[in-house]
Structure 1
Amino acid sequence: MAERLSQSAAYRPACSRSRRETRRLLPLGAVRDWFEHREAATITDVIFDTFTDADHALYKDILASTAAAASAPDGDAAGTGPSPIPPTSEHLPHARGQAQSSPTVQCDSLERARQWLESADAVVVSAGAGLSASDGLDYTSPALFAKHFPGFLKYGLTTLYSVFGFDRWPGERVRWGYYFTHLGMVASWPRSTTYGTLISWLERFGEKAHVRTSNADGLFIANGLARERLSTPQGSYSVFQCLANCRPEATVPSAPLVADAQSSLEPTSQSLADANKMPICRFCGAKMMVCVRAGGWFNETPFEEEEMRWKEFRDKVMARRDKTTVILELGVGMSTPGVLRWPDEDLVVRGGGRVKLVRVGMGPEAAVPWELEDAGLATSIDGDISTVVRELFSETDER
């Protein structure tokens, strides 16, 4: 049975010990790490498919030196010193869930990002789930789910993400019990230093700043961001909509309903005790749902105005040939790259050198396209987002 190991060559991770050369060696590190965890593996040969003569020569030299080091006797100079093969992100402390006093960001990319942001004429904060996770609202955390949603563990749900697409609710009172519990938790989420720092910095740009987020949690608004600076293409917890999407106006603000339902949640099962608290469409009587892009029923009407503001910002502010725009991308992964990640890269490509990208994330998702980094148009920082934000703007706040 053939087994294959692969590492994407299209993207470049950040903050390595060197630039292009070390990043070319990441597949070697992946192979080494794979074998370290599989001592009983019977594979005898691994083929590296290199794309250039330079890569071929580099791999040949490194593999030769690695073989020499492996065969050298103890104490021999050839067998000492650091490995020529770089580790993968799996071996970094943060990748194993260990706390860090500071992220892996003390490198040239951090300083480059700071300089770009300080000299920018306009800024876009492009925020994904990683930003909420850095603030504790981690949709992949079993611990968070077990703490706040113990009544729903019996349905096989283990994380907030596991609820996405879940359709095996035993009844509407249970379904709404979950959503009212979820939205109640988010509504009471404490204000954040990370969000506060970001928003304070954004306010300096006035109308030349925009936040575009795939997060529906409303944490930017909760922490003081002006609504006219925000667009949420994936929807928002602040709105309930008709699940049949019977007409554009079949929506209601969720906050009053969420607040009113909290006293009707069963303390143990967390289901909704009072069926009268369940919202139904006032037009057609159909079930309602949180207004997020989770299916073909999604109602985009409540977000049309903010989408228009985003397009106006993109087409007017970012298009000025005499001004520079920096996109600060925070925690945008590969779950739905077509929402923020790829459009961000496309804005840089089409920006004529006037738009730059700073990508902040954890592990491989912090990587940026090689060609954009080589052109001086993108840089990435691999580290905890909250710590990176503090590092980026601490000196700015002191001025």
Structure 2
Amino acid sequence: MTSTANFLERLDTLRRLMAEADHILVGAGSGLSTAAGLDYAGEAFQQEFRPWIERYGITDLYTSSFYPFATEEERWAYWAKHIWFCRYRPGATPLYRQLHEKLMPYSTKLFIITTNVDAQFALAGFDPKRIFAAQGDYAFFQPASGSPKTLMDNREWVTLALKEIDNCRIPSKLIPFMPDGQPASTNLRVDGTFVEDYHWHRMSKRYGDFVRNAAQGRLLLLEFGVGFNTPGIIRLPFEQMASQFPDATLVRLNRDNPEPALPDLQRYISFTEEITSVLASL
């Protein structure tokens, strides 16, 4: 069954797969958070980042993450605003809460892998012990050098820095450093310095264990909004599992890129309808 089947038929099939599955593996990319209203270039961005838009000409929160600010005071003023906007401002969005409600009956057979760094799954009430955030979390700083493999919570710093932003700068005294005196950076995977700390490795192992335990059972691979930015983390492995495991089915919710890369994938269903519509109808 593919996206060409009737919408209601696909919904019925998804309900059955959820109920009958021994294991449900959720994979989530940026499309899910975008559907939830966390838009990196929308109206809220235009409003909150107007001083940066006017001064630096930034157009969205993705490309602006790589902007070559002239000073550390400017760079960290931007990041204080960015982290607050994406991590601390929204709280749990209604869409993630709705997803939690739909999946709660299956919570004991569920695991989540996500490339999103906004912690929406945890904020919505999913068990943190069942969430592997492979690409990091806005809530933490790490050593800019990548060593040692330790993280530092940044919420207190963000709150303080926001109050001190003036003309798109923060005071020099607020430039963040790690407890050992090293310069800090955000714990987001952008290069080889990304810190995979003890918690990251523990959750990576739990993810691997879940996949191994699910390999011979009835496995539902439920994929939300995963594109081609980092396809090797969720998109392609999910297709491989659906192809190689004896009783695994991939259900892909993706408006723009539903087609699998693997040819002749048999146990596969796609929804190109809006994620909000699918969850509301489920």
- Establish whether TM, by shorter chain, passes 0.5: yes
Tell me if structure 1 keeps the 8 A contact 2:28–2:113. yes
- Are the structure 2 counterparts of residues 340 and 157 from structure 1 closer, same or farther at C-alpha, using a change threshold of 3 Å? same
1:290 equivalent in alignment to 2:189: no
1:366 equivalent in alignment to 2:267: no
Q: How far 1:138 moved relative to its partner? A: 1.9
Q: Determine the C-alpha separation between the residues in 2 that align with 1:246 and 1:121.
A: 40
Q: Determine the C-alpha separation between the residues in 1 that align with 2:19 and 2:147.
A: 48
Q: Percent identity?
A: 26
Q: 2:239 aligns with which of 339, 345, 353?
A: 345
User: What letter corresponds to residue 292 of structure 1 in structure 2?
Assistant: L
Matched position secondary structure for 2:264: helix
Match of 2:169 in 1: 271
Q: How far 1:233 moved relative to its partner? A: 0.8
Q: How far 1:172 moved relative to its partner? A: 0.9
Provide structure 2 residue ranges, at least 5 long, that are not aligned to the other structure.
Answer: none
Tell me if structure 1 keeps the 8 A contact 2:91–2:123. no
Which structure exhibits the higher relative contact order, with contacts defined as CA atoms closer than 8 Å and separated by 6 or more residues? Answer: 2
1:387 equivalent in alignment to 2:277: yes
User: What letter corresponds to residue 249 of structure 2 in structure 1?
Assistant: K
Match of 1:310 in 2: 207
Q: How far 1:142 moved relative to its partner? A: 4.9
User: What letter corresponds to residue 150 of structure 1 in structure 2?
Assistant: R
- Please say which structure displays the higher CA radius of gyration: 1
1:198-237 alignment to 2 at 5 Å? 198-237=99-138
Q: 2:89 aligns with which of 185, 188, 192?
A: 188
Q: Determine the C-alpha separation between the residues in 1 that align with 2:24 and 2:39.
A: 26
User: What letter corresponds to residue 151 of structure 1 in structure 2?
Assistant: P
Q: How far 1:115 moved relative to its partner? A: 2.4
Q: Determine the C-alpha separation between the residues in 2 that align with 1:218 and 1:208.
A: 20
User: What letter corresponds to residue 277 of structure 2 in structure 1?
Assistant: T
- Are the structure 2 counterparts of residues 290 and 313 from structure 1 closer, same or farther at C-alpha, using a change threshold of 3 Å? same
Q: How far 1:370 moved relative to its partner? A: 4.8
- Are the structure 2 counterparts of residues 145 and 188 from structure 1 closer, same or farther at C-alpha, using a change threshold of 3 Å? closer
Q: How far 1:111 moved relative to its partner? A: 3.0
Q: Determine the C-alpha separation between the residues in 2 that align with 1:324 and 1:262.
A: 48
How does the TM-score come out when normalised to structure 2? Answer: 0.91
Match of 1:174 in 2: 74
Q: How far 1:107 moved relative to its partner? A: 5.0
User: What letter corresponds to residue 254 of structure 1 in structure 2?
Assistant: N
Tell me if structure 1 keeps the 8 A contact 2:142–2:185. yes
Q: Determine the C-alpha separation between the residues in 2 that align with 1:344 and 1:144.
A: 33
Q: Determine the C-alpha separation between the residues in 2 that align with 1:292 and 1:190.
A: 20
User: What letter corresponds to residue 15 of structure 1 in structure 2?
Assistant: S
Match of 2:219 in 1: 325
How does the TM-score come out when normalised to structure 1? Answer: 0.65
Q: Determine the C-alpha separation between the residues in 2 that align with 1:383 and 1:148.
A: 30
Tell me if structure 1 keeps the 8 A contact 2:142–2:186. yes
Q: Determine the C-alpha separation between the residues in 2 that align with 1:169 and 1:310.
A: 37
Q: 1:280 aligns with which of 166, 177, 191?
A: 177
Tell me if structure 2 keeps the 8 A contact 1:181–1:270. no
Q: How far 1:255 moved relative to its partner? A: 1.9
- Are the structure 2 counterparts of residues 212 and 184 from structure 1 closer, same or farther at C-alpha, using a change threshold of 3 Å? same
Aligned residue pairs: how many?
A: 278
Provide structure 1 residue ranges, at least 5 long, that are not aligned to the other structure.
Answer: 1-11, 20-104, 393-399
RMSD: 2.0
Q: Determine the C-alpha separation between the residues in 1 that align with 2:161 and 2:98.
A: 33
Q: Determine the C-alpha separation between the residues in 2 that align with 1:291 and 1:209.
A: 26
1:252 equivalent in alignment to 2:152: yes
Tell me if structure 1 keeps the 8 A contact 2:242–2:250. yes
Matched position secondary structure for 2:7: coil
1:15 equivalent in alignment to 2:3: yes
- What are the Cα deviations for residues 180-236 of structure 1, in whole angstroms up to 9, with x where unaligned? 111112312043222112223333223310111000011111112221010011111
